[in-house]
Amino acid sequence: MPEPAITPELVAEHNLTAEEYEKIKEILGREPNYTELGIFSVMWSEHCSYKNTRPLLKGFPTKSPKVLVPAGEENAGVLDIGDGLAISFKIESHNHPSAVEPFQGAATGVGGILRDIFTMGARPIAAMNSLRFGDISNPEVRRLFSGVVSGIAHYGNCFGIPTVAGEVYFDKSYEGNPLVNAFCLGVLRHEQIARGAAKGIGNPVFYVGPATGRDGLAGAAFASQDLTEDSQEQQRGSVQVGDPFMEKLVCEACLELLDTGAVAGIQDMGAAGLTCSTCETAARGGTGIELDLDKVPQRGPDMTSYELMLSESQERMLIIVEKGREDEVKRIFDKWDLPWAQVGVVTDTGQMVVKHKGEIVADMPAAKLADDAPIYHREAREPKYLKNVRAFTLDGFSDLDGSDAINETLNKLLAWPSIASKNWVFRQYDFQVRNGTCLIPGSDAAVIRVKKDSMPKSKNDDPDETFDDKFLALTSDCNGAYTYLDPYVGGKIAVTEAARNLACSGALPIGSTDNLNFGNPHNPELFWQLKEAVRGLAEGCSAFEAPVTGGNVSLYNQNPDGAIDPTPTMSMVGLIECEGDITSQWFKDEGDAIILLGEPVDSEDKLQGLGGSAYLQVSHDTKSGTPPRCELDDARKLNTTLLGLIQAGGVKSAHDCSEGGLLVALAECCISNNPTRETPALIGASIDLSDQTDQSDEPKAADSESDAIGEPNSKLPSSTPHLRTDALLFGETQHRVIVTCSDPEAAKITDRAKLMGVPAKRIGTVGGENLTIKSGDTETTWSTTNLHDTWWNAIDRAMA
């Protein structure tokens, strides 16, 4: 079929502006043909080029003594974990594909992130995810939710990787535009790090994996535009179809091939398929590549050069082989029963030259394609809605009065899908395959063991080598409501909660990866959200010495009704010194002391931790108010103290206070030690917070003019003379952790914490079958069995 004429309308259909098209003509010195236009459109999409966000990303900390491969240099970063061992990890989104085809969209999101990791020479050993959906009462949301979870489970379980952690939130802002962020971590030795550069003039270029089809066509461009009903229908073909069993074969073959030393460069065919893999490897190597599309295995009849170059068919890799070692490569691919083809050669021209049916169908400079996309500094303007957010007060919101109100509120919060147990999700995952999971889903962070058999095999392996196991903690966090109400503070809180979850598990953060899920960057108010959130993330990662090793930007996440809540997902990895330091969140033994590290309520927050809280959303149908203050110095001090207490011994459990506040966290400590429905291990507690409500009725003087007029996060104004019960029980004041220890250790632990400058107080005792809490003159009691049923089965009941 003849190629269509290049018209302004066709250029626009490829999401290229008139100015960008002029730049393309300037680079080529001529008009592009249809295939070249398609190639530029995907390489200059936001998904591949970060043309709207690259200036912001430069603000992230990316260096530390542990960084072996920094962010942006390869498919994923690499960090040293000692003894010549390293880890590679990354998170990426598959939001738009999952909105169109939830099962395949989520499944291929997992497949793509797995390839990013084993492309680095690392063996994938753990996965997690971060998911966002609309209101679960909506049948369409339930369809998307079920399809996404099934897709993740199918691909991960079939590949044979444990999915060990994650998070799931439900909010109307994600209606029609779910977020599916997939994370993978792999392990390798320092000498096994692989590079994605096309080096060695004359080296052959190999294609390995299944044949190329028309699935996934121009998926990168699809992910870089607003999601509408029309675009969903038109782009259904942009969703790839995955085969996890094929991916497993590709992974094993590539790891074996890398060990031979015959590989000069390796790159997965992810976004933009053959296009991205060829031009990026050539750009990194300072070389060119010549491709012959007639040699590319094809699944569909009469495929055009446009389709072959832009297809995102899954489980495919591009490998640059040392000349003269082709037979080794063929032998290994044949051993693993994998399709392969020698499709090209590395050249010294710097050009990506593509031939098809005896003709040159594309001839363009590789580096210009990969590195010289236009960069935009978008206008940023503070959203108008923030004026009302900052003016929000608790006036008109009556405090909780009596045990019945407290009882009802706790049950509502535990049944709220964003807080309720996510066992409906994680029980579909095989989270113990490979026998390296030390702490399963359901605690503050997952913990995995790095064993000798976790490592990629090497012909130089010494069977008698002494191998000391390593222990890693993984978590993923973000509160989209906080980021909507204050993007800068929300960004900081995402990082501090991730770091706090690692500390509660006994780990010290060593690195992080982010997934920036935002709306249309052309909207100044939405771009301001992005800019401020990145500023908060960067400050947080610097404070915890957790450099960003890579990540993903996903923009245009909105439906015709508006943009999603800004959601900068933060995944963080920490190192645990020894197995004895692994700590879980649930209470352990009768008679143990319960200690609160941190202030029960932030006296300098005019909303007492209720701004943006789950309590306001669930009990008052209100998402407003400035979020809780986030002081990075206080957060770091708490984490350092907690980690020191854990490493000194004596701490039996640790659980951070986040969504739902102190009472929800205490309830979770009582009921969360239940890896299966059949064997819940419940234990009660007696809590006394009555002294916290004995506050002076004298008005608190304002410290400054800004305090007097109620600026964001100002101190308690004179209109709030005493501590509210709802704030004490359900406020989300930051930098708080509940720990338990044996009764004789309690005084020692509180004294050590205070010595470090961290407030600490014993608030109760573990034991019995009920959770009882006294606040002021009110005492409320719950059966742990009933609490567990409410919390454990909430999503089951919603999905029934």
> pLDDT band at 706, cuts 50/70/90?
very low
Residue range 628-667, pLDDT digits in tens = 999 999 999 999 999 999 999 999 999 999 999 999 999 9
* pLDDT (mean) for 728-739: 98
Residue 264: the pLDDT is: 96
Q: Does residue 705 register a pLDDT over 50?
A: no
> pLDDT band at 226, cuts 50/70/90?
low
E-strand spans in 366-458?
437-439, 446-450
Residue 158: the pLDDT is: 98
Q: In this structure, are residues 723 and 601 in contact, taking their beta carbons and an 8 Å threshold?
A: yes
154 phi, psi to nearest 5 deg? -60, -50
What does pTM read for this prediction? 0.93
E-strand spans in 263-420?
263-268, 288-292, 317-321, 340-347, 351-356, 359-365
The chain-wide mean pLDDT, for the chain, equals 92
C-alpha to C-alpha distance for 324 and 308, rounded to whole angstroms? 28
Catalytic residues: 47, 94
- 644-655 burial, b for 16+ CB within 10 Å, e for fewer? ebbbeebbbbbb
C-alpha to C-alpha distance for 53 and 47, rounded to whole angstroms? 10
Q: Would 56-371 and 584-800 be classified into the same CATH topology?
A: yes
Q: Does residue 678 register a pLDDT over 90?
A: no
Q: Domain boundaries in the chain?
A: 56-371, 584-800
* Domain over 584-800 is classified CATH 3.90.650.10: yes
Residue 698: the pLDDT is: 38
The secondary structure element, H or E, covering residue 78 is strand 77-82
Selected from 3.50.90.10, 3.90.650.10, 3.40.50.300, 3.40.228.10, the CATH number assigned to the domain covering 56-371 reads: 3.90.650.10
Q: Which is more confidently placed, 709 or 80? A: 80
Q: Does residue 688 register a pLDDT over 80?
A: yes
* pLDDT (mean) for 405-413: 98
User: Which three-class secondary structure state does DSSP give residue 739?
Assistant: strand
